[in-house]
Chain A
C-alpha cells in the first residue's frame, strides 16, 4: 500500500468524522434535550409544572450523591493504598469485591440489602432509610472511585513519603499533610464519578428510598408512569443540567488544566 493511498484513506476517515459528528450530536444531545425542553416548556406555560416542586428532589439527589461519593472514596482509599503499596492476597480480595459490586445490577444489590436488613434484627431499623440507600450506592459505585484513587496513590513519589516520614513522626498528620493533599485531585475525580452515577441511579433508589423521599430519577420515573410528560421533561432537564455541570467540572475543566 503506497503512501498516497494511505493519505487518501486517512483523509477519507477524517472527512467521515467531520460529517458524522454533527449527526451524532443531534441524535444524542440536541434532539432529546429539545424534546424534553418542549415538554417542560408546555408544562410551565400551562401552569402544571413548578420549578419549586423540583427543588426538594434536586436537593435530596445532590445530598445523597455527595454523601455516597465521600463515603465511597473513604471506603476505597485504604484498599487502594493497600493494593498499590503493599499488595497482598487480602487487599486483592478487597479490590475484587469492590469491582464485583459494580458488576452486580443495582436492583440485585438493593434486594440483597433489603432482605439482609429485614432478616437481621439489629439492622431492621436501617430498612428504608437514606443510610441504607447510600450504602447501596457505595457498594454499587465504589469501583468507580477505586481506579482514580489507585492512580492518585501511585502518583505520589516514594521519596516524598520517605521524606515526610523522616520529618514528621505523627503518621496521621503525615498522611493528611502529604499523602492526602497530593491525592486530592484524584480523590475528587473518583468521588465525582460516583456522584455522577448516583445522580442517575434508579432501581436501587426506587427499592430502598425512605417513604416520602424522592430523587430526580424517581420523580422522572413516577411522572412518566403516570403520563405527566411535562413534569418528566422538567425533572429530566434539571438532571441533565446537574450532570453536565459535574461532567464539565470533572472532565473538561481537568483536561484544560492538564493542557495548561
Chain B
C-alpha cells in the first residue's frame, strides 16, 4: 500500500523539569504540567497517555513551542529550544523548531486543495526546490499516504481518515526532526481509527521520524508506542515500555489506568519476601513497591491471571460468579469472595460458568507473567 518512503533522521527530544501553567479569568494560575522530565530517543514513537485534563496536550504543545513553559527546558536534537527558570530565558519560535504537528481534526486549510496543503508544508524548502521538484515531492508524499489522484480535491470532499493522512503528509513535507500528533484518531469512528492508526504507525516507522503522540486510549498507546508516558494531574507517573507499564506499574493508579486491575490483600512470605499469601493462593512478587518493614501488601492481579476452578485447592477460597460477559475469544467474569472482595477474571471460553455458580479462583502461576506487583496497603484508595 505504501511505497517509496522518504526517510530522514529523527532527533532525540529531552524535557527537563517542564512546567506549564495557565492563568484563569479570576487571575489564579492553574498548573497543567508539573516539572516533567522525559527523554525520548531519536526515531522512537512515544505516547503521552492519560485522562482528560492531565496535561498531556500541554506537554506536547510545549515541545512544539505552542505553549511557553513556566519552568524547565526542552531540547531537540541536543539543541535547547526552550529554557526557563533561574538562567537567561531562551526561546526558539515554533516555526524554527523543525517539528511537524498533526492536530485532532487534521486542521487542513479548507480553501486549499490537497496538493496546495502539502505545498504549504514545503514552503520552508521552497528556495531549495524547483517547481518540478516540489510537485514530484507532493506526488511522493501522496504516494506515501496512499492518496494518489487526490491532489485536486478540497479537504471537505475527503473522509476523516483521508483528511488525517493528508495532514500527516503535509506535516512530513518539510522533513521535520520530530512529529507531534495531538489525539489524531479521536475524531474517527472505531473501525476507521484502527485502520488509520495502523497506516500512520507504518508511515512514521518507515520514515524514521521521532514521533510523540497524545492519546487517552490505552490500546492506542500500547499498539503504537515504543514507550509510553502515563500522566496524571500534570505529573508523569511512569515512563516505560507497554510491557513494563502493564507488568510493573509504578502505582496502583497506573496499574488501573493501563488495564483492568484487581487488588487483593496478601501477607508477604518467604525468606527473600518474594511471595505473598492471598485468598487466591500464593502469588510471586516480582516488583515490590511497599514498606520493607510491613508484611501486609495489596497485590496486583490482572484478570487474565485469575484462574477459575470447580474444585477447591488447599490455599484458595470459594467465590460466587456475579456477572458473565461473553466475548467469544474469552469470557469476563466478576466473582465475589466470602469477604465481599470482587475480582474480575478473564478465561478462555472453553469452560463456561453461569451466574451464581460457586468457583475457586486461583492465581495462574504457570503462564508468562505469572508474577505480580505489590503495593503498600495504604494505597488501597488510590
Contact = CB atoms under 8 A, between A and B. Distances in A.
Interface stretch (A100-108, A177-185, A216-224): A177-185
A160 B103 CA distance: 9
Given A157-B107, A163-B103, A168 B64 contact: no
A181 B174 CA distance: 22
Interface string A148-175: 0000000001011011111111100100
B121 interface: yes
Interface string B47-70: 000000000000000001010000
B64 A166 contact: yes
A165 B96 CA distance: 10
Contacts of A167: 95, 120-121, 123-124, 170-171, 173-174
Contacts of B99: 166
B15 interface: no
B6 interface: no
Nearest to A174: B95
A168 B107 contact: no
Contacts, number: 56
Given A166-B100, A167-B170, A160 B109 contact: yes
Given A168-B120, A168-B123, A169-B96, A162 B101 contact: yes
B104 to A, nearest CB: 7
A159 B111 contact: no
B110 A166 contact: no
Interface string B62-96: 00101000000000000000000000000001111
B140 interface: no
Contacts of A160: 107, 109
A165 B107 CA distance: 12
Interface in B214-262: none
A166 B111 contact: no
A170 B121 CA distance: 13
A159 B174 contact: no
Interface of A: 157, 159-160, 162-170, 173, 177-178, 181-182
